[in-house]
Chain A
Amino acid sequence: MKGSFLVNGRTNEWTFEPDATLLDVLRANGHPEVHRGCDEGVCGSCSVLLEGKLVNSCQVFAASAMEKDILTVAGIGTIHEPHPIQTAFVESGAVQCGFCTPAAILATLALLRKNPNPTDEEIHSALDGNYCRCTGYVKIIEAVRLASRRMSSHD
């Protein structure tokens, strides 16, 4: 089938199979920053924001995401103009292999938009669907705290 997808502020017309997931379609159309880690809705590496909400793109049929606002990590900042959450992850040492990082950054963005000054418990809860095997999460949690401090001081 054919459909229009609004990804990172740009509208795209894409052709896809009716049983394709949003992850399949994003990866097939120039968004490899969305990672396939399990394809079963657990590891969270494929997380994107769909209408502002964190979802596992492997658990979303692409057809159901047509015409909806989709945000990947490439849409929030670039290597030349990174978002404060991206720099917070880098500076906190929260990036090891980096496979989970784009998704964890989006989970952080979803959290901080709703709750700019989260408690540790709220941070742990907001990232409960984002596995990381490298960091033991310690520095990821630190990165979220740092991003929260920086973003709220900018407001």
Chain B
Amino acid sequence: MSTVQWYFPDTLDEAISYLGREKTVPHGGGTSLIKSGIASLEGLVDLSRLGLDSLKMEKGILEAGAGMTFGGVAESLANLHPECILGKALGASASTPMRNRITLGGSASLFPLWSDLIGPMSVLHGVICTEGKNGGTYDLPSWLADRTLQKGSLITSLLFPDPVDWLSSYYRETRVGFDYPAFTVSILARKNNSTIDKVRIAVSGGLDRVRRLTELEERLTGADLSVLASLDIRKMASVEFGRKPAGSPEYLSEIAAVQVERGLKAVLTEEGKSR
């Protein structure tokens, strides 16, 4: 017999007051709560009436409400900014019916190992906005570093300061089409003729959860495209993995590097794009 108490607040303040109670957590779409079980919880705060489900672009900044589903974000972006890596990533995540329930807020509160949000968050320099006890804005590293930030707080939206006009590539390593990824590779780049202006590369799913390949980024930034041929990208893209059902640590590490190289070439060169 579950005794968990449901709350359906109409305002943020009300929601936050409930979240201050013992063993009480927010409910977005419910997918991760159902997976982990709610037997030990005492309260669930449903967010559906808070109006956190809008997506807007103002002054080049994309703000996506925490209540938006992956499917909703992917659909909106597919119409507005089809090349945006966030839409590509979330639109490929899980399955159609799951994407209609997984919310940005739920995903950002846990960033599970198989998250399709974490890679785009990392390369887009996404920011997590919260209200409540630890209300504020947090970048991904500081958010991941301190899980206690979530206590008594509510994620209200994710901000992406510079989300569009990138060359982008998103790769998810899966065994079949509908699978959680063993790793993901997110790449953003801007170039000016044959010069690489900016490049950001993130690999998720390894021992570090998400890792920016900063050394590789530094070598590429400002360089001529010809650098791609001279660098040992696979070596520089080496990321450590644990064992997963999809393969051994060595194998995953090796093919993640292959996908980084392919993604970079696809983004930066015509030859890579055609494949």
A-side residues, CB < 8 A to B, are 1, 17-19, 21, 40-42, 44, 47, 50, 53-56, 58-61, 63-64, 107, 110, 125-130
CB neighbours (8 Å) of A50 from chain B are: 100
Asked if B2 and A18 make an inter-chain contact with CB atoms under 8 angstroms apart, the answer reads yes
Choose from A47, A63, A128, A129 the contact partner of B6 (Cβ within 8 Å): A63
Q: CA–CA, A129 to B179, complex, Å?
A: 10
Question: Which of B38-46, B131-139, B146-154, B211-219 faces chain A?
Answer: B38-46
User: In the bound complex, do residue B27 and residue A55 qualify as a contact, i.e. CB atoms below 8 Å apart?
Assistant: no
- A8 CB, min distance to chain B CBs, angstroms: 18
Query: Which listed residue, B30, B35, B71, touches A53 by the CB 8 Å rule?
Result: B71
Beyond A17-B2, A44-B97, whether A129 also contacts B48 by CB under 8 A is no
Which one of A40, A42, A59 contacts B30 once the chains associate, using CB atoms below 8 Å?
A59
Instruction: Determine if A126 and B96 form an interchain contact, defined as CB atoms under 8 angstroms apart.
Output: yes
**How far is the CB of B56 from the nearest CB of chain A, in Å?**
21
> Are B101's CB and A128's CB within 8 A?
no
Does B178 lie at the interface of the complex (its beta carbon under 8 Å from any beta carbon of A)? Answer: yes
For the complex, is B145 an interface residue (Cβ under 8 Å from A)?
no
Closest 10 A/B residue pairs (Cβ): A129-B95, A19-B2, A129-B97, A53-B100, A54-B97, A63-B6, A56-B97, A18-B4, A61-B30, A128-B95
- B3 an interface residue at 8 Å Cβ cutoff? yes
Residues of A close to B96: CB separation below 8 A? 54, 107, 110, 125-129
Asked if B61 CB lies within 8 Å of chain A CBs, one says no
> In the complex, A125→B38 CA distance in Å?
31
Beta-carbon nearest neighbor of A44 in chain B: B97
CB of B95 within 8 A of CB of A17, answer: no
* Chain B residues with CB below 8 A from A17, complex form: 1-2
Question: What residues on A are CB-neighbors of B98 within 8 Å?
Answer: 41, 56, 59, 129
B177 at interface by CB-CB < 8 Å: yes
Q: What are the residues of chain B within 8 A of A56 when measuring CB–CB? A: 97-98, 101
- Say whether A44 contacts B27, CB under 8 Å: no
Report the Cα distance A14→B39, complex, angstroms. Answer: 22
Q: Report which residue of A1, A42, A59 has the largest number of chain B beta carbons within 10 angstroms of its beta carbon.
A: A59
Q: Which residues of A contact B177 (CB under 8 A)?
A: 128
| Distance in angstroms between the alpha carbons of A60 and B69 in the assembled complex | 13
Minimum distance in angstroms from B97 CB to a CB of chain A? 4
A19-B39, A54-B97 as given contacts; A129 in contact with B27, CB under 8 Å: no
Closest Cβ–Cβ distance, residue B77 to chain A (whole Å): 16
Is the Cβ of A55 less than 8 Å from the Cβ of B6?
A: no
The 26 listed contacts between A and B (C-beta, < 8 Å) are A17-B2, A18-B3, A18-B4, A19-B2, A21-B34, A41-B35, A42-B95, A50-B100, A53-B71, A53-B100, A54-B100, A55-B97, A55-B101, A56-B97, A56-B101, A59-B31, A60-B29, A60-B30, A64-B27, A107-B97, A110-B96, A126-B96, A128-B177, A129-B98, A129-B178, A130-B97
B33 x A61 contact (CB < 8 A): yes
CB-nearest residue of chain B to A107: B96
B5: Cβ under 8 A from any A Cβ: yes
CA distance A8 to B259 in the complex (A): 47
- CB of B79 to closest CB in A, whole Å: 12
State A40–B36 Cα separation when bound (angstroms): 11
Q: Which of A41, A127, A128, A129 is the one whose CB lies under 8 Å from B34?
A: A41
Which residues of chain B are near A110, meaning CB under 8 Å? 96
| Chain A residues near B38 (CB-CB < 8 A) | 19
Given A125-B96, A129-B95, A60:B2 Cβ within 8 A:
no
Minimum CB–CB distance for B64 against chain A, Å:
17
